Structure 1
Amino acid sequence: MSNDMTISRYLDPKELAAFFRELADAVENGGHDEFACVDDFRKIKIGVKNEYGQISLKAKFKAAKPCAPDVVGEDGEIVKPKYKDLKKRMRGSFKILVKMIHDGSVPPREAVDAFLADAALMVTYPGYGDEYYESFGNVCAEFKTAFDSGDLEKMHAAVDALVHEKSRCHAKYD
């Protein structure tokens, strides 16, 4: 369930333009083959070096969602990601929520939905601040209500409450 994809290879100088055309097509029209999750990228990092007439190409793609299908366990249930991976994923969506709301703009629904889905999953992990989960869940519900209403002032108050809940829990568990 990785969000990362890396391409590393040597090309003839003439092949470099073809690589960029394929990449542009994948971003514009949907990924396929080696560019499977590129159309849903969060970050693309490309390094190109001319090494004695050969082009060294290294491209790293971070997708917004896992590129591989969900892993299904023996009992047919979807296997949860590692807690550390989930927290890292949440950090990205939460950062954009806080920044945009504090800058006075409404964050994209995709970021809100991703954060709230991950928050609902996070509170199912025992031993990582169970005593804070209920109050955190209540603040998430307040944030969702504020977002759905489009009230930026209420979103600001709710996101500040989320920051407070995060700080309380992380002070004890991080």
Structure 2
Amino acid sequence: MAKKYTQTLSRDDLPTFLRKLADACESAPVEGIPDCTKAKKIRLSIKDEYGQLAVKLKVSTIIDECELCEECDCVEKRPEGLPPFKRLKKRMATSFKVIFKALHQNTAPPEEAVKDFIADSRLMIQYPDKGELLYTDYAALTDKLEEAWLNNDLQKFHETVDALNHMKTECHHNYK
């Protein structure tokens, strides 16, 4: 869910606005500015329009899966308590992108992204008709990825991520 905020400011008012935005991101909502403490994405646009600044702020919050179906018994509604496949794929794409980008910038990825990707990978191979022929190989690569992470073997971790990326491309080509 996204909240929008628009305002016209003078250049002198801009620093005050940015300080309020920083406060809204650090602790709590500030009057006139949406709560940014649980933001997944923040878009800020500031344009000079004949000496006045047009400020547009859009804050997208993290959506809990129960909010998606508007019920709290999601586990009972889906087979074997699995989240919606589309939602799982989006989560996996996000965590994998962070991992892949960090490795290719020669840095270690955030631990939370790695743990989420591994957990989601184990969930993903439980869905029927979504590439079952590759599930055994994918599970083995997931185990190898986790082992490399736990042993702080960044080289093996990087190689496994590249292998997973190749497998993902093959699977999406055959099953999409």
- Normalising by structure 2, we get a TM-score of 0.72
What is the CA deviation profile of residues 78-102 of structure 1, one whole-angstrom value per residue up to 9, with x for unaligned ones?
5766533432332232122223224
CA contact (8 A) 1:10 1:57 kept: yes
Provide the residue aligned with 1:98 in structure 2.
Answer: 100
Counterpart residue type for residue 167 of structure 1: T
Which entry has the higher C-alpha Rg, 1 or 2? 2
2:157 to 148, 152, 155: 155
Deviation digits for residues 110-149 of structure 1 (CA, Å, limit 9, x no counterpart): 2212222332333333322122223212211211111111
8 Å contact from structure 1 (residues 8, 59) kept in 2: yes
Q: State the shift of 1:47 in Å.
A: 1.0
Indicate the residue corresponding to 1:77 in structure 2.
74
Q: Which amino acid aligns with 1:48?
A: I
1:7 is the counterpart of 2:4: yes
Gaps of 5+ in 2: none
Is 1:12–1:53's contact at 8 Å kept on the other side of the alignment?
Answer: no
Q: How does 1:1-174 map to 2 (within 5 A)?
A: 2=1, 5-13=2-10, 16-27=14-25, 29-32=26-29, 35-36=34-35, 38-39=36-37, 41=39, 43-51=41-49, 55-62=53-60, 66-68=62-64, 70-71=66-67, 76-78=73-75, 82-174=84-176
CA–CA distance in 1 between the matches of 2:34 and 2:65? 15
Structure 1 Cα separation of the partners of residues 7 and 154 of structure 2: 50
In structure 2, the CA distance between the partners of 1:76 and 1:68, relative to structure 1 (3 Å rule), is closer
Q: Secondary structure, in 3 states, of the residue corresponding to 2:7?
A: strand
**Distance in structure 1 (CA, Å) of the matches to 2:64 and 2:165:** 31
Q: How much is the aligned-residue C-alpha RMSD, in angstroms?
A: 3.2
**Per the alignment, do residues 16 and 107 of structure 1 end up closer, same or farther by CA in structure 2, a change over 3 Å counting?**
same
SS of structure 1 residue aligned to 2:55: strand
Q: How many residues align?
A: 167
**Identity within the alignment, %:** 34
Deviation at 1:42, TM superposition (A): 5.4
Would you identify which runs of 4 or more consecutive aligned residues in structure 1 move more than 4 Å? 14-18, 40-43, 50-55, 72-75, 78-82
Instruction: Please give the per-residue CA displacement for 1:23-75, whole angstroms capped at 9, x wherever unaligned.
Output: 20133x33447543x34555432112355676533223455xx2457337767
1:47·1:59 contact (CA, 8 Å) conserved in 2? yes
Gaps of at least 5 residues in structure 1 are: none
